[in-house]
A and B are shown apart, each in its own frame.
Chain A
Amino acid sequence: DAGVIQSPRHEVTEMGQEVTLRCKPISGHDYLFWYRQTMMRGLELLIYFNNNVPIDDSGMPEDRFSAKMPNASFSTLKIQPSEPRDSAVYFCASSPGPIYEQFFGPGTRLTVL
């Protein structure tokens, strides 16, 4: 298996632009997680899905952030409009079930100028 796939690996954009991050979980995994990692705040859970349904989005910082999972093999995290404080590494992870470890993608490094 290819593991969790994220794209793009790096994204540089200007403040106010829309940013879309993409994730393909491992086939057969029912859980998908989006995390944000910064030096100041560490690893933060933004949202997670079970069987394509959002379960907990309490970590989404504000309305500028939205996430979707239209099918079992694809999810997006969108930031509109982006701000410099959104600069971080965004990870997607998937898990085959609630008692199993999460498998992380390589992350997307987002820089908002």
Chain B
Amino acid sequence: AQTVTQSQPEMSVQEAETVTLSCTYDTSESDYYLFWYKQPPSRQMILVIRQEAYKQQNATENRFSVNFQKAAKSFSLKISDSQLGDAAMYFCAYRSNSGNTPLVFGKGTRLSVIA
């Protein structure tokens, strides 16, 4: 079974600085998708970024980018120019491309942004 590990339960960053959240996963498959979700205090789960495993290029969405290392099974999220609104729980998730498979979530990293 696939597993997703987020080794940092909590992180903090100064406003306007850059922070990287770590995620590793375990799978024997070669075709899959990876996601980062953000959960602010409102509880709403919001998709931040998505990466297809067959793409070598790292996904980028404005201030959010990933470092996808397929061989190392690593999928870290970099947040540049951190803003107070970035404070939230961040979840890394994996989804296989084979058949009916759900998302597998990590335990999450709580990010605090210090003004």
Interface residues in chain A, defined as those with a beta carbon under 8 Å from any beta carbon in chain B: 31, 33, 42-43, 45, 48, 50, 55-56, 89, 91, 93, 98-99, 101-104, 106-107, 109
Contacts and interface: CB of A to CB of B under 8 A. Distances in A.
B21 to A, nearest CB: 15
Contacts of B97: 98-99
- Which of the four size classes fits the interface of chain B? 20 to 34
Contacts of B91: 43
Nearest to A49: B100
A101 B102 contact: no
A26 to B, nearest CB: 13
Interface in B38-68: 42-47, 50
B105 A101 contact: no
B35 interface: yes
Nearest to A59: B102
A45 B102 contact: yes
Contacts of A102: 103
Given A89-B43, A101-B47, A106-B43, A42 B108 contact: yes
Nearest to B32: A99
B43 A107 contact: yes
Q: Is the interface of B mostly helix, strand, loop or mixed?
A: loop
- Which of A89, A93, A98, A106: most chain B CB closer than 10 A? A98
Given A50-B100, A101-B50, A42 B44 contact: no
Given A42-B108, A101-B50, A93 B45 contact: yes
A45 B33 CA distance: 18
Given A89-B43, A101-B35, A106-B44, A42 B107 contact: yes
B101 interface: yes
Contacts of B99: 98
Contacts of A93: 45
A104 B45 CA distance: 6
Contacts of B43: 89, 106-107, 109
Interface in B5-42: 33, 35, 37, 42
Interface in B75-100: 91, 95, 97, 99-100
B106 to A, nearest CB: 8
